[in-house]
Amino acid sequence: MSQGPPPLQPLAHTDFYREIRRNKLRTAVILFSFIALIAVAGIAINFLLGFGVGGVIVALVIAGILGFVSYYNSDKVALAAARARPADGPEYQRYHNLVEGLCIAAGLPKPRLYVVDDPAPNAFATGRNPKHAALAVTTGLLQEMDRVELEGVIAHELSHVKNYDILASTVAVIAVGAVALLANIGLRFWIFGGNREGDDGGLGIILAIASIALLIFAPIAAQMMQFAMSRKRELLADATGVQLTRYPPGLCSALKKLQTDQAVIRHANHATAQLWIESPLDRNQDTKGSWLNRAFDTHPPLDERIKILEAM
């Protein structure tokens, strides 16, 4: 007789602190990696357009500015991209009460609360640290989830805040977009009148080809860096969240509802997909083009997450 998966052992406090330290280190590495990628893309653009040493300096300055903006304003960009609005009004009192209770239990300051007007049930957390965090839920999530299910989802998102996942995830939103924008601008300028003076030399041709290849593959590299850091963090947030609520069936039931609901977030995109508790993109096999969303999914399969929660 086959046995199910072994129960997931509770994580000790030392394990949480160790994971938080690792997340802070990963965040620093990811942030500097994105800045380096933006700088390299800028240098490639400079070579193709023939701006010289001044262009290299400008590229490095732009990379530094984008890194600074990403660190301090990435939450605002993510909330604006989702078209989130502050959760004001008496109709959101249950939402506020659940967040306040869980924050007290987790020892966290209460994040700023937002709502996204969308019937698809989903939620995400953003910000650079627990003191500057924000939590957004869709109107569909508030309508479809009962109290314990909503508590499970909110605990999952607060776990991202507690585990310092939110900075790396949110910075990646801006960085991926910045790399793609720089690459697109550079290629367009080169096509419509870039530097052609050195193309007749062998070294010039090689460097031009290398620069073009870099600009083509830089957005892909940025996207792959984003994918690499999200899947494990979702599983850790599930485990941390149910330890916070002391009730695994709550989050488990919520994930089952998310699995059943096929609605997608109207204003979601690939850059912001990893922020949500479940992928907000269309992955229906019957939908044209959805194979790309499934191939580059930012989240572990819901079946796997539910199976782990049921074993706890």
Residues forming the active site:
157
Distance CA 155, CA 239 (A): 10
- Tokens, residue 240: 């941390």
Distance CA 209, CA 196 (A): 12
Helix (H) or strand (E) holding 124, with range, is strand 123-127
Strand order of the β-sheet with 123-127 is: 84-86, 112-116, 133-138, 123-127
Q: Report which of 175, 87, 197 is spatially closest to residue 135, judged by C-alpha positions.
A: 87
Q: Report which of 33, 148, 52, 44 is spatially closest to residue 98, judged by C-alpha positions.
A: 148
Q: Where are the alpha helices (DSSP H) in 163-230?
A: 166-191, 202-228
| Chain position carrying tokens 């940025």 | 222
Asked if residue 142 lies in contact with residue 115, where contact means CB atoms within 8 angstroms, the answer is yes
Distance CA 120, CA 224 (A): 26
Helix (H) or strand (E) holding 136, with range, is strand 133-138
Distance CA 92, CA 183 (A): 42
Sign of the CA dihedral 104, 108, 113, 116?
negative
User: What is the per-residue burial (b if ≥16 Cβ within 10 Å, else e) of 10-21?
Assistant: eeeeeebeebee
Distance CA 96, CA 157 (A): 14
